[in-house]
Amino acid sequence: MSHFTVLVIGDAPEAQLAPFQENNMGDCPREYMEFTDTEDEMRGEYETEATGAVRMPDGTIVHAYDDRFMVEETDDKSPFPRRVKKIPDDLTEEEIPNKEMYATFEAYVREAHGHKARDPEKKRYGYWENPNCKWDWYVLGGRYTGMFMLKPGATSGSVGETGVFGTPPRPGMVDRCQVKDIDWDATLGDVRAQRREYWKETEAKRKKAEEMNEDPKQVAGYLDMVFGVKPDDTEETYVARAYIGTFAVLKDGTWYERGQMGWWGVVIDETDHDEWMKKWWELVTGLDGETWVHVYDCHI
Contact 180, 150 (CB under 8 A): no
Contact 168, 145 (CB under 8 A): yes
pTM: 0.73
Question: Could you read off the pLDDT of 139-179 as tens digits, one per residue?
Answer: 999 988 999 999 999 988 999 988 766 677 888 999 999 99
Amino acid at 291: T
Contact 247, 211 (CB under 8 A): no
Q: How high is the pLDDT of residue 297? A: 95
Residue 258, φ and ψ in degrees, nearest 5: -75, -15
Percentage of the chain lying above the pLDDT 90 cut: 68
pLDDT band at 259 (very low <50, low <70, confident <90, very high): low
Q: What are the E-state strand segments in the chain?
A: 3-9, 34-37, 50-55, 61-63, 70-75, 78-85, 93-97, 126-129, 137-142, 148-149, 161-162, 173-174, 176-178, 248-251, 254-257, 260-261, 267-268, 292-299
Q: How high is the pLDDT of residue 77? A: 72
Rounded to whole angstroms, what are the CA distances from 257 to 15, 33, 53, 244, 295? 19, 21, 45, 15, 14
Q: How high is the pLDDT of residue 262? A: 43
Q: How high is the pLDDT of residue 270? A: 61
Answer whether residue 266 shows pLDDT above 50: no
Q: How high is the pLDDT of residue 241? A: 85
Cα 152 from Cα 154, distance rounded (Å): 6
